[in-house]
Chain A
Amino acid sequence: KAGVTQTPRYLIKTRGQQVTLSCSPISGHRSVSWYQQTPGQGLQFLFEYFSETQRNKGNFPGRFSGRQFSNSRSEMNVSTLELGDSALYLCASSSGGLAKNIQYFGAGTRLSVL
């Protein structure tokens, strides 16, 4: 079974631009969660999608958004990038339909905002 796939692995953007990250979960997993990881803040929960609906949301501004498609693939979008958005963005999928279940993580997308 293929693992969680995130693309791209690395991104360099400038302030003010927008970016879209992609995540393909493990086949059969319907819950997809996104996390932001920075040295200062650790691993912060962004949001979770289940059956194409955002089910949970962390404490991030509206510039961070996402969606999920019928095949459970998910995208995350960040608009009007700020320097502080530089981070490793991790996607995780879980079986059983709960974001609290064991999470299977992708390798992440490293975003650098210049």
Chain B
Amino acid sequence: SQQGEEDPQALSIQEGENATMNCSYKTSINNLQWYRQNSGRGLVHLILIRSNEREKHSGRLRVTLDTSKKSSSLLITASRAADTASYFCATDAAGANNLFFGTGTRLTVIP
């Protein structure tokens, strides 16, 4: 399967702490995206990183990509209760015509 896997499956932290979640995938990719999903709702795009980029920032989000290890990480700094959600990586695998989503990390930020 080309589906990515997020690690950990669940993460619980205190407000103000940083949260790091990881994504591993199996095939070569053109780019990798991160999405957030609030409980039972649709996914919201957060950030896209291309295969020739190593790091990207957007506000409190920092994404890294290591194509040699086929892995990516999403760091959320100074977390807030509103960051409580599930986070998914999605890969644009070379040769494929659609995105493949990972299994997700459920983040709980305790006020």
Contact = CB atoms under 8 A, between A and B. Distances in A.
Contacts of A55: 97
B42 A56 contact: no
Interface in A42-61: 42-43, 45, 48, 55-56, 58
Interface string A90-108: 1010000011101111111
Main secondary structure of the interface of A (DSSP, over half): strand
A16 to B, nearest CB: 26
B45 A104 contact: yes
Contact of A42 (B42, B45, B102): B102
A81 interface: no
Interface string B82-111: 000000101010001111111110000000
Given A103-B45, A104-B45, A108-B42, A56 B97 contact: yes
Interface string B1-15: 001000000000000
Given A42-B3, A42-B104, A100 B99 contact: yes
The range of chain B's interface size is: 20 to 34
Q: Give the most central of B43, B88, B101: most A CB within 10 Å.
A: B43
A90 B42 contact: yes
A113 B110 CA distance: 34
Contact of B99 (A4, A42, A103): A103
Contacts of B33: 102-103
Nearest to A58: B98
A110 interface: yes
Interface of A: 4, 6, 33, 35, 42-43, 45, 48, 55-56, 58, 88, 90, 92, 98-100, 102-108, 110
17 contacts: A6-B42, A35-B101, A42-B102, A43-B88, A43-B104, A90-B43, A92-B42, A99-B97, A99-B98, A100-B92, A100-B97, A100-B99, A103-B90, A105-B35, A105-B42, A106-B42, A108-B40
